[in-house]
Amino acid sequence: MASFFKAIGEFFADFGTAVSKGDFAVKLSLLWMGAGYARRKQYVKAVIMTIVEIALIVFTFKFAMEYVPKFATLGTVQMEKVFNMKTMKSEFNDYDNSFTILLFSLFSFVVWFAGAVVWMRNVVNVYELQKLEEAGKHINTFREDFHSYTEEKFHITLLTLPVLGIVIFTFIPILLLIFVAFTNYDQQHMPPKSLFSWVGFQNFLSLFGGGGLTTTFGYAFVRVLGWTLVWALFATFTTYIGGILLSLLLNSKKTRMPKLWRTLFIVTIAVPQFVSLLLVRNFFANNGIVNTICSNIGLTGFLQHIGLVSNNYIPFLSGPGWAHVMIILINIWIGVPYQMLIATGVLMNLPSDQLESARVDGATPFQVFRKITMPYLLFVTGPALVTDFVKNINNFNVIYLLTEDVYTTTNQAMASSQAKEVDLLVTWLFRLTQDYYNYKMASAIGIIVFIICAVFTLVAFNRMIKGDREGTYQ
Amino acid sequence: MKTTKKVLATMLAMAVAAAPAVSVSAADETIKLTVWGAEEDQTLLNELTEKFKAAYPDFNFDIQIGVESESTAKDTILTDVEAAADVYSFASDQLFDLVKAGALANLDEVGEALQVAGKTLDDVKNANVEASVEAASYDGNLYAFPRSGDNGYFLYYDSSVLTEEDVASWDSLLAAAEKAGKKVGMTYASGWYNASFFYGAGFTTGLNDDGTTTMDWNGTSPDGISGVEVAQAMLNIAANPAFMAVADGDISNQLATGDLCACVSGTWDAITAQDIYGDGYAATKLPTYTVGDKQVQQGSVAGYKFVGVNGFSENTGWATVYADFISNEESQQTFFDQRESGPTNKNIIESDAVKANVAIAALAQQSQYSSVQNVGGKFWDPAKTFGEMLAQGSVAAEDTAAIQETLDNLVEGATAPIE
């Protein structure tokens, strides 16, 4: 963190020095970006920088200025149209679209930011050239500069495209999501017909139950968040422990045909998850095969008798509590093979010298497991455990496929906020956007999910790699 | 801003001035239209499009037909209204959301384009049954052309197990089913189905301008029946061992198991029901249910399929003419002949062929008790939960206070403002 800010500070310091100590050409570079290069006879670079500068100016006036000035209001001109019978066409006014204004403004900001960095960097570069000239050193020709990008600066060439991709496909959309959380973008304010505008922290207020229009949103949020964390914890640790136990079993010398068993377990991975989940959902449906079997063998009747079940079916996936447990159990079945694979890989690389010496010292198998195997596993798979936890917070597939169309909440307060007891934050968010066009709330929830995941990951990773854990283990 | 308004005003003046002269000249430019229709209607749409082109030989059309199911039209269109098709089919419950998003052109504004086809918008309104026109209207303006009226539900039954008297009321229906060792299936956990009990008792739902719902289910209806009494009747039906509460969309699976001797569903299950019931295949209006000592006819929701014109379509005029063309009497007849789609056109409904179709005839029988369901988006989840609670019997039928509270919660949730 500190080094990051130091780098920024140095960048500005370099720029300051360049501007104050640079000669006329360097100073002129502030206005005409090609000036410094032209003065040092780097004409190709001068032309390129001039083109970049012109492109930036054209971009600013032809594109950005159409959207950025409206950024503060997100548009004021409502769509209006008139039907012209003579041409049989509708004629539209030049209406504002809040969404495009927001999106293209953000895009412009990113481009301008990049432009500013290039502009400052450019001045620093031409000052470097000035110093080279003053010292009488060789100034690279364009060919030599170009060549350096396939040699010592090859990393820059390699990384340009991925970085561009990340900015356009990841960074700008995330920025957009964050900004939408501060607007009233919902069904009542859907562009292009209507405009939406900034509302500050209003959405977060209603999310936490204060000042919002419905009190149930905060009520539902707390419960959904609670289940999300409980689920992530159980889903991560049950499959983790299950996977380790299973791989220990398969690795045991007493197990016959370990390869066959391993293959069988991996078959569950080979079948696409959504197929197996939908099948399992049907098995455990209220009128599904498992319920038929249970009622035939009298289990349903017994459960009814002791008061656990009030209907003539067992609500495996349709009753609160029941569904929660079932989801975690089904997830074990789906998740264990993956963990088994990972654990098997780690177990095969256990340092044999330590196992050997433990055996010589007369350690019991359980002692070996507790003192050697488990610490080693934890050490190697720790980071994977953290990512698993985060992945489970956002585990859309399992929850959505198992409960959609099957689970109906009987909690009216939850229903009023379109939530269900078995919803994770992501599935709730999905329904809010998909069925209710409530983009602003979905964005607010998205930010909360992001914060939870980010904080957890940072804390967990920091603890894990704090000091020299590797050394401690060895 | 000011100039835009000025331009608009001039355009408006021009439009008004031009209106009396109907002569739409055959322009050289190609009129481009994109059309979205259901997968199973593609061949038919192509056929109708050819007819349409033949009807206007003086014009150049470039009509592209794409696949979009009526039930999901809204989701796809609202993703990017400006890029969506000029003409598309959709289910009637999506009308409000589409109007709100500007995705439907106000036909009362562009209806004059129909002069090209030699008709007026009033002709369209008069040709189709009143309820369908009402369902296609919002705030007194027509927003879509009714094309089919088979998106409602009624009762399928096996006439080899149940008699016509049996299916007249829920009491006799369930008793006969129990005797036969069979079940009667209905979806409770859906506001589309469970509203039928309340509509039958005279309760209503309504839609406000801001997208919120109004409903009176927790009070007493104009017919003098209280919401609690309706809920009690529903609880009694659900508590009957011969009743099976089926999850939304699961009726056809349950039909296929052969356990159901009757079920509440719509034309989309006609083929399954025909397969299962064989010669006993029959359909009729929904039964009556018992409130106190009287029988109340169960209502239903009238659902339609509409053809709409995109509000952001440039060629609005021709899109309107085309949309009318594929939903006019002749086209509805073709749809009925080829796709067994229930018409909304008055003349076709009266035809013998339609009356002979078991499912569509039952739907027509039910239609006098059906109403248009005007509700906002906030209605569905609370109504679904309400139905599920009744199906599971989470409240006792004798506990009127608890039922009243449940109804109050339902109304509060469904009528909540949109945050």
DSSP secondary structure string, B187-226? --SSHHHHHHHHHHTT--EEE-TTS-EEE-TTSB-TTS-B
Contact A311 B246 (CB under 8 A): no
CA nearest neighbour of A432 among A207, A258, A277, A257: A207
- pLDDT band, residue B288 (cuts 50/70/90): very high
* Peptide linkage before A192 cis (omega within 30 of 0): yes
* Residue range B364-385, pLDDT digits in tens: 889 889 998 989 888 999 999 9
Best B385, B395, B408 member to test A by mutation, with max A CBs in 10 Å, is B385
Question: Is residue A321 classed exposed, middle or buried when 0-12, 13-18 and 19+ CB atoms within 10 A define those classes?
Answer: exposed
Looking at this protein, which amino acid is placed at residue B28? D
Question: What pLDDT is stored for residue A460 in this prediction?
Answer: 86
CA nearest neighbour of B215 among B224, B206, B225: B206
Question: What pLDDT is stored for residue B10 in this prediction?
Answer: 45
Q: Residues B265, B271, B272, CA angle at the centre, nearest 5°?
A: 70
Helix B227-239 to helix B400-414 angle (10° resolution) is 110
CA nearest neighbour of B361 among B379, B380, B371, B348: B348
* Residue range A231-263, pLDDT digits in tens: 999 999 999 999 999 988 888 888 888 889 888
* Cα dist from A127 to A12, A119, A418, whole Å: 14, 13, 61
3-state secondary structure chain A: CHHHHHHHHHHHHHHHHHHHHCCHHHHHCCCCCCHHHHHCCCHHHHHHHHHHHHHHHHHHHHHHHHHHHHCCCCCCCCCCEEEECCCCEEEECCCCCHHHHHHHHHHHHHHHHHHHHHHHHHHHHHHHHHHHHHCCCCCCCHHHHHHHCCCCCHHHHHHHHHHHHHHHHHHHHHHHHHHHCCECCCHHHCCCCCCCCECCCHHHHHHCCCCCCCCHHHHHHHHHHHHHHHHHHHHHHHHHHHHHHHHHHHHCCCCCCHHHHHHHHHHHHHCCHHHHHHHHHHHCCCCCHHHHHHHHCCHHHHHHHCCCCCCCCCCCCCCCCHHHHHHHHHHHHHHHHHHHHHHHHHHHCCCHHHHHHHHHCCCCHHHHHHHHHHHHHHHHHHHHHHHHHHHHHCCHHHHHHHHCCCCCCCCHHHHHCCCCCCCCHHHHHHHHHHHHCCHHHHHHHHHHHHHHHHHHHHHHHHHHHCCCHHHHHC
pLDDT beyond 90 at B278 = yes
Contact A84 B417 (CB under 8 A): no
Contact A76 B418 (CB under 8 A): no
State whether residue A93 sits within 8 Å of chain B by CB.
yes
Question: What pLDDT is stored for residue B6 in this prediction?
Answer: 45
* Distance, CA of B41 to CA of B43 (rounded, Å): 6
Q: Nearest-CA distance from B353 to chain A in Å? A: 37
Chain B residues within an 8 Å CB radius of A76: 1
Q: Nearest-CA distance from A403 to chain B in Å? A: 12
* Residue range A142-185, pLDDT digits in tens: 888 888 888 888 888 889 899 999 988 999 999 999 999 999 99
Contact A93 B247 (CB under 8 A): no
* Distance, CA of B301 to CA of B296 (rounded, Å): 16
- pLDDT band, residue B128 (cuts 50/70/90): very high
Q: Is the dihedral of CA B324, B326, B327, B333 positive or negative?
A: positive
First to last CA, chain B: 31
Q: Nearest-CA distance from B72 to chain A in Å? A: 11
Using alpha carbons only, how large is chain B's radius of gyration in Å? Answer: 23
Instruction: Using 50 as the pLDDT threshold, list the residues of chain A that sit under it.
Output: 211-213, 471, 474
* Binding-face residues of B in 367-386 toward A, CB within 8 A: 377-378, 381-382, 384-386
Lowest mean pLDDT among A283-292, B275-284, B304-313: A283-292
Looking at this protein, which amino acid is placed at residue A12? F
State whether residue A218 sits within 8 Å of chain B by CB.
no
B364: which residues sit within 8 A by CB, 6+ positions away? B342, B349, B354, B355
Is A127:A135 a contact under the CB 8 Å cutoff? no
Contact B392 A216 (CB under 8 A): no
Question: What pLDDT is stored for residue B227 in this prediction?
Answer: 95
pLDDT beyond 60 at B178 = yes
* Distance, CA of B97 to CA of B99 (rounded, Å): 6
* Distance, CA of B280 to CA of A240 (rounded, Å): 56
- Helices then strands, each counted (H, E), chain B: 19, 18
pLDDT, mean over chain B = 89
Contact A86 B24 (CB under 8 A): yes
* Binding-face residues of A in 278-297 toward B, CB within 8 A: 285-287
CA nearest neighbour of B203 among B233, B234, B232, B224: B224
Per-residue pLDDT, averaged over B136-165, amounts to: 93
Closest Cβ–Cβ partner in A90, A311, A414 for B314? A90
A358 token code pair: 């433990």
* Distance, CA of A54 to CA of A31 (rounded, Å): 11
SS3 state at B33: strand
* Distance, CA of A393 to CA of A387 (rounded, Å): 10
Contact A310 B417 (CB under 8 A): no
* Distance, CA of A432 to CA of A418 (rounded, Å): 7
Helix B270-277 to helix B358-367 angle (10° resolution) is 120
For residue A292, the Cα-to-chain-centroid distance in whole angstroms is 41
SS3 state at B347: helix
Is A453:A394 a contact under the CB 8 Å cutoff? yes
- pLDDT band, residue B8 (cuts 50/70/90): very low
Closest Cβ–Cβ partner in A83, A186, A212 for B316? A83
Tally the residues of chain A. Answer: 474
| B382: enclosing H helix or E strand | helix B380-392
* Residue range B13-56, pLDDT digits in tens: 444 444 433 455 555 789 999 999 999 899 999 999 999 999 99
Beta-carbon neighbour count of residue A223 at 10 Å?
18
* Cα dist from A268 to A336, A341, B352, whole Å: 10, 12, 56
Is B341:B335 a contact under the CB 8 Å cutoff? yes
pLDDT beyond 50 at B91 = yes
SS3 state at B158: strand
| B124: enclosing H helix or E strand | helix B121-127
* Residue range A62-118, pLDDT digits in tens: 999 999 999 999 999 988 889 988 888 889 999 999 999 999 999 999 999 999 999
Is A129:A42 a contact under the CB 8 Å cutoff? yes
For residue B70, the Cα-to-chain-centroid distance in whole angstroms is 11
Chain A residues within an 8 Å CB radius of B75: 434
State whether residue A65 sits within 8 Å of chain B by CB.
no
* Cα dist from A154 to A122, A124, A150, A158, A397, whole Å: 20, 21, 5, 6, 41
A116 token code pair: 């500013």
Q: pLDDT above 90 covers what percent of chain B?
A: 70
* Cα dist from B190 to A48, B196, B214, B255, B267, whole Å: 64, 10, 18, 18, 18
* Binding-face residues of A in 365-424 toward B, CB within 8 A: 405-406, 408-416, 418
CA nearest neighbour of A125 among A32, A37, A46: A37
Question: What pLDDT is stored for residue A216 in this prediction?
Answer: 73
Best B60, B381, B412 member to test A by mutation, with max A CBs in 10 Å, is B381
CA nearest neighbour of A196 among A96, A66, A81, A67: A96
Nearest CA in chain A to B313: A90
Best A317, A412, A430 member to test B by mutation, with max B CBs in 10 Å, is A412
* Binding-face residues of B in 388-407 toward A, CB within 8 A: 388-389, 392-394, 406
User: With b meaning 16 or more CB within 10 Å and e meaning fewer, what string describes B359-381?
Assistant: bbbbbbebbebbbbbbbbbbbbb
In a 13 Å sphere around the CA of A279, the CA atoms on its Cβ side amount to 8
> What are the φ and ψ backbone dihedral angles of B145, each rounded to 5 degrees?
-95, 125
Closest Cβ–Cβ partner in B15, B211, B382 for A188? B211
Is B309:B105 a contact under the CB 8 Å cutoff? yes
* Cα dist from A433 to A274, A438, B78, B98, B229, whole Å: 22, 5, 11, 16, 37
State whether residue A184 sits within 8 Å of chain B by CB.
no
Question: Is residue B412 classed exposed, middle or buried when 0-12, 13-18 and 19+ CB atoms within 10 A define those classes?
Answer: middle
* Distance, CA of B128 to CA of B123 (rounded, Å): 9
SS3 state at B40: helix
